[in-house]
Structure 1
Amino acid sequence: MDMNAYLSMFIDESQDHLQALNENLLKLEGDPNDLSIVQVIFRSAHTLKGMSATMGFEDLASLTHEMENVLDLVRNGKLAMDAFIFDVLFKGLDALESMVGDITAGGQGKADVGTIVGALKSIVDGSYLTRSQTAATAAAAAPAAPAAAIDEFQLSVLKQSMDSGLKALRIDVSLEESCVLKAARAYMVFNLLEEKGEVVKAIPSVTELEQEQFDRSFTVIFVTEHDAKGLEEAVAGISEVEAARAEELDAGTLESLARPEPAAKPASSAAAPTAQPGKPAEAASTGEARKPAGGAPAASRTIRVDIERLDALMNLFSELLIDRSRLEQLATEIGRGELTETVEHLSRISGDLQSIVLKLRMVPVDTVFNRFPRMIRDLARSLDKKVELVVTGADTELDRTVIDEIGDPLVHLLRNSLDHGLETTEGRLQAGKPETGTIWLRAYHSGNHVFIEVEEDGRGINSAKVKAKAVENGVLSLDEAAKLTVDEVNNLIFAPGFSTADQISDISGRGVGLDVVRSKILSLGGNVSVESKEGAGSKFSIQLPLTLSIITAMLVKLGSEKYAVPLTSIVETGIVKKEAILTVHGNRMMSYRNAVIPVVSLSRVLGAPDFCEDDEEESEYIVIRKGDKWAAVIVDDFIGQSDIVLKSTGAYLGQTPAISGATILGDGQVALIIDPNALFK
């Protein structure tokens, strides 16, 4: 049987099951005694194992089988869930996602999962409990060195050092069970030792220690002129080091380290490392209706459709829409009743078809949101903060094109909220807040837009600090900073390269600032703003269009040229007399609804060759809005509203200012689409 024909289905189904496993394992962590959740997790794991074995992905099937053995003990009441088991299962899920990702990329789903399998087996046979009980005395007991401790080159270095009068030491270090930042403590030990001599070998390797891929114990082979007792006391004095034992090695011991007895790697070293904050579990989304994770299987009323087919359907419908506009114009010019009726009927049918095609491309934001609970859990553990993520409106739908682009901005905002926004547990208690911080992630429809909000009840934005940083970076002068309102100060954090962090971290920002988020949202035709109250928290609000493929626009003229302005950006249209346009400090302004707003000449921005409003006694204008900014755009004449298909301008026009694309009108002419956001610049 040719399994390649089923590969796409296998990948989609696997991603669904992995997402269900992640979500339900998080639920189980909140309520470890709920066996109904365990049953759901077990069924997903069992199905995934069967699918993997059928497709011939044995590594995937074998790892899932070991996880299934653990879950079987739990659901039968023979094993109680604890932190170690949760960590190992989550690490197993990360490995499964990595293997499925490899299969998606054309690989065979191979991965080195020996450590995770060892940890799972230690859970099944109960030896992990023994490991926990004996870990405190591991360093004092001077355990045998792991296999292949040193190679021939390291042996030569150690012998030469001993011949020159130096001492070769073996130092076994054990960290406290409550230690959170194990890599940081290991770094402190190495920093101390490097001041006293030279590290020849670390077991596990330095890379594994940096990535926290070890339990709580590690060994260092070390060359020094200092005595073992003094070094032992110095290492033991480091914070969160539970025990340290230094032993001087002789030539015979070194030989045995270089030629050890073959031994299986102990399961205790397979303890699941804390999930790395830079690698959140991000299950790929297929964009279709998701199957229920638990309960009785419902009759399937959905089919999977390749996104390329939907794109092809959208492109074909776009051409149909252009021809419809052409037919409507011809029917108007010819004036035949039968033709007009037929075209009107065609317009109604194509309008319904347009609605269906757009709905086919709509995907719930849940496909993006579902990766965040796991990411927040892992980050909270690495930062030693207690956090609750509250998600609402996950069934709100957006165009697939928009969905594919908003993941990274939301990851950045959530990391920023957790790292910079929420205080530490001690800080929250001192501020009189609950020790568990809350992050709200909301999505909802409003008109032709979808709003996504990220809010937290943390420390809020320090306005004085933001102003000082803005002046220091040259964004503002002192006088300008003094005149800013609170909202204007808060929005300064979106300036390029702006960051108020005292120390750059890999959790959020990395010193880049939030300008990357704003740039991405603006490129999608949306907007982002922030509200904050110092000491009470901050709320980031993202406004996005429902779709990027077909939009309603106002068609306008500039002499012989035609342009389209997205209707979602237009507040009002009107006519203004020439004398009503005033000049204030060199800028043209006009009065609009008890306010004064700037006037932008579209012909001057675009360099229109055959229109100049200076010759007009009165001019048509469009009022556009971006956030809390307003402007009046002077045009030649209005043509009317129309549904238009967005087409890329390609490499020929490149990044032309104020132009976001093009469309083909009913008469066959090409009209450029105005980017209203660019007019505010």
Structure 2
Amino acid sequence: MDMNQYLSMFIDESNDHLQSLNEKMLELETSPNDLSIVQVIFRSAHTLKGMAATMGYEDLASLTHQMENVLDLVRNEKLAMQDFIFDTLFKSLDALESMVEDITNGGTGKSDVSAIVTSLQAIVRGETLDQSSVELVGSTSNTVQSVQLDEYQYSVLDQSIAEGHRVLYLEVFIREDCQLKAVRAYMAFDLLEGHGEVIKSQPSVQDIEQEKFDRSFSLYYITQKSAEEIERMVLNLSEIDKASVIELDQESLKLMGDVNHSARDIAATVELKETPVIETVTLSTQTSVEPIKTVAKEATKIGNGTPSRTIRVDIERLDVLMNLFSELLIDRVRLEQLASEANNHELTETVEHVSRVSSDLQNIVLKLRMVPVDTVFNRFPRMIRDLAKSLDKKIDLVITGAETELDRTVIDEIGDPLVHLLRNAVDHGIEPISDRLAAGKAETGTVNLRAFHSGNHVFIEIEEDGRGIYRENVLKSAIKKGVVTVEQGAAMTDEEVYQLLFAAGFSTAEVISDVSGRGVGLDVVKSKITALGGNVTIHSIPGKGTNFSVQLPLTLSIISAMLVQLGSEKYAIPLTSIVETGIIKKNQIRTVHGNKMIEFRGSHIPLISLSKLFDITDFDESQEDETEIIVIRKGDRMAALTIEEFIGQNEIVLKSLGKYLPQIKGVSGATILGDGQVALIIDPNAFIK
């Protein structure tokens, strides 16, 4: 059977299951005793295993099988979930995602997952391989981290033993009162490398150099010297508390590499020269091959077991459909105009019926391309969990408005900018626990991620209750990097200063970390959002928190709009931004601090003249006793636009102004009317600050 025809379906279904597994694992972490969640996770993992085995991806199937073994013990109440089990399962999910991504990119999906499989097998056997499981021989108080060997490192050590070299396993402890741990560790490595070769250490050499270890490290070492000589040499170094050196033969090396037993177990094995019975689990799990139709049917049952009533459609087909319908809409408007001019009753009835049918079709076509932002948001809880753990912070991510829909083309592009903004919020925004407590805040920081519609745009806001942005710190760094001069900085508003954060290479971080600090990220965010036709603003209160607000166009090809006349020009205003229309008299206009205002439902709102904004010379509303207005809204703020007259409501096709025209404030695009005229589409959000 040719499985290539099912590859696309396998990739899509696998991604769905992996997303479901990540979400349910996060739920289980907050409620570790809820077995109903474990049942859902187990079913999803079982389905993924069956699909992978059917498609011939054995590494993926075998790793999922090992996860099943752990989950089976948990759901049968034979194993209680602990932090190290969660960490191991999350690492397994990361490995599965990498394999599926490799398959998506045309790869074979193969990966060396032996280390994760070993950890999962150890959990099933009841061993606690949680970074502190390997004990020092003869000691009950000191521990070192286990050293995982990959296939290449194991073969190097095995071949060295076969060629007559000595392979040693060292565990070294530095005194607790040592002030320069990294220096002492370097001296030990320097000494060892003078008499042999270090193959693998735990922690890594880089972590040891940066003092990212407690006070102990372990390593595999090839030399010609005896274990006693090496131990004596290491102990002669100053501030070395203890050292244990074990010489390994091929049998004990296999025991060490395969199941990662404690050093005490290895020592006993070396002393007795016996190899204990080891449970072996074949990596290529034999899974019964289910018919592909059954797998596909089962794969649609995620979480609650309800079959999915959806099908997947190539996005390019939707693009073609949207373009064809856009052209149909222009012709429909033209047809309506011609029918009204012909004054033929039967023709008018037929055109009205076509209009009703095409309106229904239009709604369906528009909804086909709309996707909830939840498809992007749902990957962030896992990311925030991992970030908080790596930074030793407590973070509560609150997501609202995930059901807000956005065009698929924007959804595909907005993920990376949001990742940068969230990482920035967690790393730079939220303070360490000690700083939060000192400032009188709760030890758990809150990051709000929300989305909402406003007019023809979607707003996505990331707000945290962290340290906030201090104007002087941003200016100091910007002046130092030559982004602005001292004089320019003094004349800038707070909003303009905050925008400096988006300058290329700009960073206020004093220390470069794995999360941020290299000046890469926010400039990418700005350029990406601008390329999508949106913008991003920052509002911050020092000591209280920061809000990043991203404004994105819906980028729909078709919108409902109110057509208005200004002199000889016609404009379209999206209906979604309009609160109401009306007429005001000249004596109702007030001037407050030089700005024109009108009273509207118990409050005063700004009055904006479109003719003055767009420099329209053949219409002057100051000569009119009464003026038509359109009240527009952005969030909870409103304003009124003055116009000459209303033309009426219509469905319009949104067309971009193109790359050759400069970005015009207040204009989001253009449309072709039924009579062939071009009307500019007004962006009401640009008028409300």
2:353 maps to 1:345: yes
TM-score, normalised by the number of residues in structure 2: 0.71
Following superposition, the deviation at residue 421 of structure 1 comes to 0.6
| Partner deviation per Cα, 1:555-604 (whole Å, 9 max, x = no partner) | 799999988787778999999xxxxxxxxxxxxx996779899999999x
**Kept in 1: contact 2:430–2:465 (CA 8 A):** yes
Letter in structure 2 aligned against 1:41: I
Structure 2 unaligned residues grouped into runs of 5+:
224-228, 263-298, 585-593, 599-604
Partner of 2:258 in structure 1? 266
Partner of 1:245: 243
Asked if 1:410 corresponds to 2:414, the answer is: no
Match of 1:543 among 547, 551, 564: 551
Deviation at residue 637 of structure 1 after TM alignment: 11
**How far did residue 420 of structure 1 move?**
0.3
What is the Cα deviation at residue 532 of structure 1?
Answer: 2.1
Q: 1:616 to 1:391 in 2, by over 3 A?
A: closer
Q: Which deviates more, 531-540 or 126-135?
A: 126-135
TM-fit CA distance, 1:416? 0.6
State the partner residue of 2:41: 41
Q: Secondary structure at the residue paired with 1:510?
A: coil
Q: Structure 2 CA distance, aligned partners of 1:246 and 1:35?
A: 44
Query: What's the counterpart of residue 203 of structure 1?
Result: 199
Partner of residue 329 from structure 1, selected from 327, 333, 337: 337
2:100 alignment partner in structure 1? 100
The residue aligned with 1:70 is 70
Residue 664 of structure 1 deviates from its aligned partner by 4.4
Specify the code of the residue in structure 1 equivalent to 2:447: I
Task: Give the equivalent residue in structure 2 for 1:315.
Answer: 323
| Alignment partners' CA distance in 1, 2:238 and 2:56 | 50
The Cα shift of 1:451 comes to: 2.8
Match of 2:271 in 1: none
Partner of 1:22: 22
Instruction: Provide the rounded CA distance (Å) in 1 between the counterparts of 2:134 and 2:335.
Output: 83
Shift in Å at residue 10 of structure 1? Answer: 2.0
Query: Partner letter of residue 56 of structure 1?
Result: G
> For residues 210 and 474 of structure 1, do their structure 2 counterparts lie closer, same or farther at Cα, with a shift above 3 Å needed?
closer
The answer (yes or no) to whether the contact 1:600–1:679 under 8 Å persists in 2 is no
Asked if residue 219 in structure 1 is aligned to residue 219 in structure 2, the reply is yes
| Contact 1:398 1:546 (8 Å CA) reproduced | yes
Contact 2:456 2:576 in 1 (8 A): yes
Aligned partners of 1:442 and 1:530: how far apart in 2? 15
Deviation at 1:390?
2.0
Change (3 A) 1:133 1:633: closer
Per-residue Cα deviation, 1:44-70 (whole angstroms, up to 9, x for no partner): 111111222222222211111111011
**Aligned AA (2:303):** G
Using the alignment, how far apart are the partners of 2:138 and 2:447 within structure 1? 40
SS of the aligned residue for 2:509 comes to coil
- Alpha-carbon distance, 1:128 to partner: 3.8
Name 1:4's counterpart in structure 2.
4
> Which aligned pairs between 1:214-613 and structure 2 lie closer than 5 A?
217-219=217-219, 221=221, 232=235, 245=243, 265-268=257-260, 293-295=302-304, 297-473=305-481, 478=486, 481-482=489-490, 486-508=494-516, 510-512=518-520, 514-552=522-560
Q: What are the Cα deviations for residues 484-510 of structure 1, in whole angstroms up to 9, with x where unaligned?
A: 555554444344543222233341363
Query: Are residue 82 (structure 1) and residue 91 (structure 2) matched?
Result: no
Tell whether the 8 Å contact from 2:46 to 2:65 is kept in structure 1 after alignment: yes
Q: Is the 8 A contact 2:566 2:611 kept in 1?
A: no
Q: Tell me: CA distance 1:204–1:550, structure 2 relative to 1, closer, same or farther (3 Å).
A: farther
| Distance (whole Å) between structure 1 residues aligned to residue 657 and residue 242 of structure 2 | 67
Question: Which deviates more, 211-220 or 24-33?
Answer: 211-220
What is the one-letter code of the residue matched to 2:46? H
Where does residue 122 of structure 1 map in the other structure? 122
Structure 1 residues 189 and 93, CA gap change in structure 2 (3 angstroms):
farther
Per-residue CA deviation, residues 638-661 of structure 1 (Å, 9 max, x unaligned), is: 9876533345677xx657554976
Cα distance in 2 for partners of 1:623, 1:495 equals: 36
Counterparts of 1:645 and 1:679, CA distance in 2:
23
- Report the Cα distance in structure 2 between the residues aligned to 1:574 and 1:195, rounded to whole angstroms: 86
Find the residue that maps to 1:498 and give its secondary structure: coil
Contact 2:203 2:213 (C-alpha < 8 Å) held by counterparts? no
8 Å CA contact retained: 1:529, 1:627: no
Cα offsets for 1:194-217 (capped at 9, x unmatched): 777857644327997659999985
> 1:558–1:636: 8 Å Cα contact kept in structure 2?
yes
Cα deviation code 1:443-471 (max 9, x no counterpart): 23344443322122211112321233344
SS in 1 for 2:91: helix
Shift of 1:423: 1.0
Q: CA deviation at 1:348?
A: 2.9
Structure 2 residue identity aligned to 1:356: I
Call closer, same or farther: CA 1:632–1:262 in 2, change over 3 Å. same
8 Å CA contact 1:645, 1:663 repeated in 2: yes
Q: Deviations over 1:396-423 (max 9, x none)?
A: 2222122112211111111011100111
- Structure 1 contact 602–634 (Cα < 8 Å) conserved: no
Partner of residue 581, structure 1 = none
Distance 1:664 1:596, change over 3 A: closer
Aligned-pair identity (%): 58
Judged with a 3 Å threshold, the aligned counterparts in structure 2 of structure 1 residues 633 and 12 are, in CA distance, closer, same or farther, namely: same
- Separation in 2 of the partners of 1:396 and 1:456? 21
1:9 is matched by which residue type in structure 2?
M
1:59 alignment counterpart: 59
Equivalents in 2 of 1:422, 1:468: separation in Å? Answer: 21
Q: CA deviation at 1:304?
A: 3.2
SS of the counterpart of 2:397?
strand
CA contact (8 A) 1:171 1:222 kept: no
Amino acid at match of 1:6: Y
Is this contact kept in 2: 1:149–1:257, CA < 8 A?
Answer: no
Give the aligned length: 609
Question: 1:204 is paired with a residue of what secondary structure?
Answer: strand
Measured in 2, the distance between the counterparts of 1:37 and 1:266 equals: 32
Question: For structure 1, which segment, 146-155 or 479-488, has the greater mean C-alpha deviation from structure 2 after superposition?
Answer: 146-155
Q: Please tell me whether the aligned partners of residues 471 and 494 of structure 2 are also in contact (alpha carbons under 8 angstroms).
A: yes
CA displacement 1:70-119 (0-9 Å, x = unmatched): 11111112112222211111111111111112222233321111111111
Q: Distance in 1 between matches of 2:259 and 2:181?
A: 21
Aligned equivalents of 1:26 and 1:660: distance in 2? Answer: 40
* Structure 1 range deviating more: 87-96 or 51-60: 51-60
- TM-score between both structures, scaled by the size of structure 1: 0.72
Tell me: CA distance 1:655–1:569, structure 2 relative to 1, closer, same or farther (3 Å): farther
* Contact 1:115–1:269, Cα closer than 8 Å, also in 2: no
Instruction: Give the deviation of 1:192 after TM superposition.
Output: 5.1
The one-letter code sitting in structure 2 at the alignment partner of 1:355 is N
**Residue 257 of structure 2 aligns to which amino acid in structure 1?**
K
- The 1:516/1:677 distance shift into structure 2, 3 A limit, reads farther
